[in-house]
Amino acid sequence: MKLELTQKQTTGLFMTTEVRQAISLLQYSAMDVWDYVQEEMLNNPLLAVEERDFSDSYSSRGRSHIGDTLNNVVEFYPCNEKGWREKLFDQIKWQLNSEEDYEVMQYLVLNLNDRGFLPIDVNEISKSLNVPSSAVTDNLEHLKDYESIGLGSAGTRDYLIYQIKQQYPQEGLLMQLVAYHLDDIANRRWNHLSRQLSVSQSDIKQAFTLLKKLRPHPYIDSIKQPVKYMVADIIVKKEGNDYLLTDSNSPLSSIRIDSSYASLKKDAKAESFLNDCYKNANWLIRSIEQRRQTILKVAKVIVKEQTAFLEGGPLHPLTYKQVAEQIDMHESTVSRAVSNKVMQTSRGVFEMKYFFTTGLSQNDSTISSTQVKNHIQDLIDHEDKSKPLSDQKLAQVLKKDYDIEISRRTVAKYRESLQIPSSSKRKE
């Protein structure tokens, strides 16, 4: 084997820190951009934020306009909020009588799952905390009775039984069905249940009607959840026949370079540090402006392509590739530009991803999958519950009533995406 030193020249892609920063900023939400700027301000003394009293606005035709006055929405950003478990315990702990109850209740609340169920056995909790099982049972009953929510139930069956005791204590058949025949009820096996329990199908269906009024899991939303704040990146307003697009997040205030440190450049060490700070600040400002311009370009195409939706119609098929071709950018750039972004319109506030939907070719036209799903949802909402529509029948009705030709398999896929059970499980 011969060892030797050789030189080889190749070309390749190299991603600098600045490029990575620009890519990250593009997919940040408005709040994330503000947090990032705040962090950079701690490390860079040349960065300063000056509140704005106006915003640059752009119509769908590209004209400039002085927009509405912007308030500093950052003042409304939430601080760190407690989770629902901590809030629940804070409300209940004042009703406890001893240190032992305090410890048991805290253990119970912190071990509830996201549905409000307690997946741990009473005896297991008793051994873990070294307390009598009666203490665990008493506190568990107290937790269940908190505002009659039923928190701490062992599962869906246990929670349904808890509700029946609370709301329908005289309904023995309903209690029996839930306690011993829940699977048969879920699969609508009316004949089997009628023979096994020696009751009429009408009685079983009447009990089933009451069962549908019960909740499948505790209503945790009744405990105040942390507020999810959404700041609109783009505000769309109609002025005459035109649409005005206002950007409201750059990042909600103007960033500038503080020139008051210029006098420190006389010091050689300070000059080197300030030069680096100036370079980083200048790059950050350019990155945020580039982010702003990219989002506006994408938003303009969305407004142009989805004008019918903004005026009350259905969504039209729209893909990242179509938008990328119109603004001469890559699909991945469009994907990042709409990620975590929010658009405020006269029809409501939507994530920008919402406006992108695939389409189905129908003769000489194309219909969006969202519109097909809406038709499927509407047909199922108005079907005869004693004879629910099968996927094949739904496909036939779509062809007959809406001239939409679609396969049974596609109907099943759309139905499942809407979280609608099959016809056999919808039958009453």
For 330, phi and psi rounded to 5 degrees? -80, 155
Please report which confidence band the pLDDT of residue 403 belongs to, taking 50, 70 and 90 as the band edges: confident
Please report which confidence band the pLDDT of residue 12 belongs to, taking 50, 70 and 90 as the band edges: low
DSSP annotation of 210 reads H
Instruction: Find the farthest-apart pair of alpha carbons in the chain and give their distance in angstroms, rounded.
Output: 98
How far apart, in whole angstroms, are the C-alpha atoms of residue 366 and residue 388?
Answer: 28
Average pLDDT over residues 266-294: 84
Q: Using CA atoms in the order 174, 179, 185, 190, what is the torsion angle rounded to 10 degrees?
A: -70
Cβ-based neighbours of 345, under 8 Å, separated by 6 or more: 236, 310
- At residue 66, does pLDDT exceed 70? no
**pLDDT tens-digit map of 200-249:** 999 998 999 899 899 988 877 655 455 566 778 888 998 888 888 888 65
Helix, strand or coil for residue 1?
A: coil
pLDDT (0 to 100) of residue 60: 40
**Quick one: what percent of the chain has pLDDT higher than 90?**
28
pLDDT (0 to 100) of residue 126: 92
How far apart, in whole angstroms, are the C-alpha atoms of residue 73 and residue 251?
Answer: 10
pLDDT (0 to 100) of residue 365: 67
pLDDT (0 to 100) of residue 56: 40
For 301, phi and psi rounded to 5 degrees? -65, -40
- At residue 59, does pLDDT exceed 70? no
Radius of gyration of the chain (CA): 30
Its sign, for the CA torsion 216, 218, 219, 221, is negative
Question: What is the pTM assigned to this prediction?
Answer: 0.61
According to DSSP, the residues that pair with 49 across neighbouring strands are: 255
How far apart, in whole angstroms, are the C-alpha atoms of residue 38 and residue 77?
Answer: 13
pLDDT (0 to 100) of residue 134: 92
DSSP annotation of 49 reads E
DSSP annotation of 249 reads -
More confident residue, 52 or 316: 316
CA 248-250-251 angle, to 5 degrees, is: 95
- At residue 343, does pLDDT exceed 60? yes
Average pLDDT over residues 283-287: 86
Please report which confidence band the pLDDT of residue 268 belongs to, taking 50, 70 and 90 as the band edges: confident
How far apart, in whole angstroms, are the C-alpha atoms of residue 193 and residue 398?
Answer: 35
Cβ-based neighbours of 85, under 8 Å, separated by 6 or more: 109, 110, 112
Average pLDDT over residues 72-76: 47
- At residue 385, does pLDDT exceed 70? yes
Average pLDDT over residues 379-407: 88
- At residue 24, does pLDDT exceed 90? no
pLDDT (0 to 100) of residue 326: 93
- At residue 70, does pLDDT exceed 50? no
> How far from each other are the two terminal CA atoms of the chain, in whole angstroms?
81
Please report which confidence band the pLDDT of residue 21 belongs to, taking 50, 70 and 90 as the band edges: confident
Asked which of 20-34, 73-87, 287-301, 404-418 is least confident by mean pLDDT, the reply is 73-87
Helix, strand or coil for residue 350?
A: strand
